[in-house]
A = this chain, B = another copy of it.
């Protein structure tokens, strides 16, 4: 048999979701095209109809879409003119952490598979640019807080990387079926980093 009825047709989005799952379970190199395909009831060759550039392209889109998704959540908070730096930081952490816990496969890919896009000439620059933009959102909030005197002075670079490390690591250990909700985790993390920044 060949082509499926229209309603059952597999979309690019379906494939990317499946790919993220397989990447989480087996890693990019451990994930065979056939594994990804079978998750959506296709064969390996069929994937090339949707992604002519093959496995690399699938990885690129998983990571770029994932990072864009997280970025939009955080940006919405950070660019709200009615919030103070401490409010922004707290809400941004909440938005960021819950975005990760609600998309655990994407969260894992953002940690473990980033390496595999760095040797890919096509994808590398676009991805790194996205990542800088994202990191800058946090740096800006922290710098603003320091400048306005609500936050005590810290090394913004180290502080931001420490915060992002804590967040990204969620992608390594978080299990949806576990004891902890995204909100629990966000609350604890927000508390830690706000305590550290607020003057006493």
Contacts and interface: CB of A to CB of B under 8 A. Distances in A.
Interface of A: 26-30, 111-112, 115-116, 119, 154-155, 157-159, 161-170, 172-173, 180, 184-185, 188-189, 191-193, 195-196, 200
Nearest to A188: B158
Contacts of A196: 191-193, 195-196
In the complex, which of the residues A157, A170, A192 has the most CB atoms of chain B within 10 Å of its own CB atom?
A: A192
Copies of this protein in the assembly total 2
A107 to B, nearest CB: 12
Contacts of A188: 154-155, 158-159, 162
A165 B158 contact: no
Given A112-B115, A115-B112, A191-B196, A184 B168 contact: no
Contacts of A30: 29, 116, 119
Q: Which 4 A-B pairs have the closest CB atoms?
A: A165-B169, A29-B29, A192-B196, A158-B188
A162 B184 contact: no
A147 B182 CA distance: 26
Given A27-B29, A162-B166, A166-B166, 7 more contacts: A30-B119, A154-B188, A158-B185, A164-B169, A165-B165, A191-B196, A200-B200
A185 B165 CA distance: 13
A192 B155 CA distance: 11
Contacts of A189: 158, 162
B169 A184 contact: no
A200 B200 CA distance: 8
Contact of A166 (B26, B165, B200): B165
